[in-house]
Amino acid sequence: MSVSSQQGRTSFVSVIAACQKARQRRPTLKQPLFYMARIYEQMGEDDKALSLYKRYLTSFQSPALTRYLQKGQVQIRRHLGSRGVSWIATRINAVQTGSVAPKLYWGRAPLQIQWALKKSVGVEREKVTELSLLRVHRRMARLYRKRKQRQEMDNAYFRVFLLSEEMMRHFVKTRRAFDPIKPTNAEARFYMAEYRRKIFQQMPFVLYKKLEPELIKNMRIRFVRPPIGEAGLLLAHDYMQVFPMKVNEWSWAANFRRLEIQQLLAQKALRSKTPPSLPTGVVATYEKQVKSLAMLWLRKARKGYASILQNAVKIELYTPWVERGMLAYQRLVSKNGGVLTSSPWWSRLLRLREQFRQEQKSSKRRFVQLTKQMKAKCLRY
């Protein structure tokens, strides 16, 4: 451990001690508990941070709101799961047998939630408007994501969505108050779409529902509509739910995931096996169609990645999701034998990446300065 990092850790420990003393003097204080959780999170002690965040919610979140959020997260999970693989398969079969009209093919029902404002739910207005609660739920969701605890992460983001929606629907009156809420809501919407992405990844690739030799021989590749391709359109629509929040960081991430669907489809196609029941005379045609469709999807993905990366340069945006987009684009271009160094916008993107990394380092230094303010506040209590 370097001298500077050791000094930083020592200062963190002294702030935690000051916060603990403040809590002993006045157990009803909220800030010292939140400060301790943030510092443990910065120190990398995630277990202690999560424990303190949970204690914060136990102490300061009303029982009625807790019950509402628990019930709501169950409703959201059921809703997202009910429109999953089995639902898509049922709809495909219903359309092909003629029992459902094609225009009703891909409708997804809106989320039905009994919002906390309802008298039957019993949540008081002032208990839902506390921004500190929203921050705690968001930090817990991010910690679960960092630790790759998928189920806990999903539930935490469902709670973040419910709480932020409540604030925007009923209680927030000023534009300034929306500033911390809209990015949080956009983040929750994005990870709700990620939940459906996991369902999409489970789907097998099938080029044709019915393996009819004459149909396969005469089908032009641009008219082929594999069932999983339609499921990809549904998933893309889920990511579009992030856009109304107008938060650049999460809108860009949603755009990247929408384009990545093309790449996922191509990977599924190239890894798929030729159906053993396929007549020998059309095997070569079938395999050629699968490969052609995969190449078409990859071209669309590559073109789309270039477009959104250039847009990131235009608005001077660089986030971890932009970095993912850069890596995905690099892989596709290198496979195609292309060179990136000749593109002016790519050079500007690399400069943005360097600026982002410098800002990450300075943000750590700013947090150390912030802990001094935390300590001063705790000593005053």
pLDDT at position 278 over 90 = no
Cite the DSSP H helix spans in the chain.
3-25, 31-43, 46-60, 63-82, 85-96, 125-128, 131-146, 150-166, 175-178, 181-201, 213-218, 227-240, 248-271, 283-314, 320-335, 344-380
For residues 35-54, give the mean pLDDT: 94
Report yes or no on 3 lying in a domain: no
Structure tokens at 315: 């608005």
Please say if the pLDDT value at position 3 is more than 50.
no
* Co-location of 15 and 86 in the same domain: no
Question: Taking Cα atoms as reference points, which of 29, 22, 19, 17 lies closest to residue 59?
Answer: 29
Average pLDDT over residues 355-368: 87
pLDDT of residue 97: 58
What Cα–Cα distance (Å) separates residue 342 from each residue in 279, 315, 346, 347? 48, 21, 8, 8
Domain span holding position 345 = 207-230+242-273+283-380
Given a cut of 50, whether residue 2 has pLDDT beyond it is: no
For tokens 């071209």, name the residue.
299
* pLDDT at position 106: 47
Residue 52 has pLDDT above 90, yes or no: yes
Residue 173 has pLDDT above 90, yes or no: no
Considering its fold, how many domains does the chain have in total? Answer: 3
Q: Report pLDDT digits (tens) over 186-233.
A: 999 999 999 989 888 888 887 766 666 666 666 666 656 777 887 888
Last residue in a domain, options 151, 183, 202: 202
DSSP state of 7: H
Task: Spell out the residues 6+ positions from residue 300 whose beta carbon is closer than 8 angstroms to its own.
Answer: 259, 262
Range of weakest confidence among 12-21, 81-90, 271-280: 81-90
Residue 125 and residue 162 in one domain = yes
DSSP 205: P
Distance between CA atoms of residues 354 and 316, nearest Å? 12
| 357, 333: one domain | yes
The reply to whether 158 and 291 lie within a common domain is no
Q: Is residue 237 part of a domain?
A: no
Q: Is residue 235 part of a domain?
A: no
Same domain assignment for residues 103 and 163: yes
Does residue 363 fall inside a structural domain? yes
Predicted local confidence at residue 105, as pLDDT: 44
Q: Is the pTM of this model over 0.95?
A: no
For residues 160 and 219, membership in a common domain is answered with no
Quickly state the pLDDT bin for 102 (edges 50, 70, 90): very low
Average pLDDT, the chain: 83
Would you place residue 109 in the very low, low, confident or very high pLDDT band (cuts 50, 70, 90)?
A: low
Closest CA relative to residue 108, chosen from 80, 71, 85, 75: 80
pLDDT at 286 over 90: no
Query: Does 97 fall in a domain?
Result: yes
What is the pLDDT at residue 133? 92
Most confident range (mean pLDDT) of 8-17, 75-84, 139-148, 215-224 is 139-148
What is the rounded end-to-end Cα distance, in angstroms, of the chain?
33
Distance CA 132, CA 180 (A): 10
Same domain, 223 and 372: yes
Q: What is the pLDDT of residue 157?
A: 96
Q: What is the mean pLDDT of residues 254-258?
A: 96
Instruction: Write down the pLDDT at residue 299.
Output: 93
Residue 236 lies in a domain: no
Inter-residue contact 179 to 89 (CB < 8 Å): no
Range 248-273 average pLDDT: 94
Question: Are residues 47 and 67 both part of a single domain?
Answer: no
Task: Report whether pLDDT(287) > 90.
Answer: no
Residue 174: which pLDDT band, with cuts at 50, 70 and 90?
Answer: low
The residue with tokens 């300034």 is 176
Pick from 100-109, 123-132, 284-293, 307-316: least confident: 100-109
| pLDDT at res. 283 | 83
Domain boundary among the residues 21, 39, 59 is at: 59
State mean pLDDT over 12-36.
91
> What's residue 104's pLDDT?
38
Residue 278 forms part of a structural domain: no
Quick one: 55 and 66 in the same domain?
A: no
The Cα 55–Cα 380 span in angstroms is: 23
Average pLDDT on 234-262 reads: 93
Residue 32 within any structural domain of the chain: yes
Whether residue 36 has pLDDT greater than 50: yes
Does 55 share its domain with 115? no
List all residues 6 or more positions away from 188 whose beta carbon is below 8 Å from its beta carbon.
141, 157, 158, 160, 161, 164
Half-sphere exposure of 128 (CA within 13 A, CB side): 28
Lowest mean pLDDT among 76-90, 108-122, 188-202, 267-281: 108-122
Quote the CA–CA distance of 238 and 44 in Å, as a whole number.
33
Top-confidence residue, 170 or 288: 288
pLDDT at 126: 64
| Domain CATH code at residue 36 | 1.25.40.10
pLDDT at 161: 93
**Residue 15, CA distances (Å) to 33, 41, 43, 63, 220 in order:** 11, 14, 12, 30, 68
77 shares a domain with 32: no
Asked if 89 and 175 sit in the same domain, the reply is yes
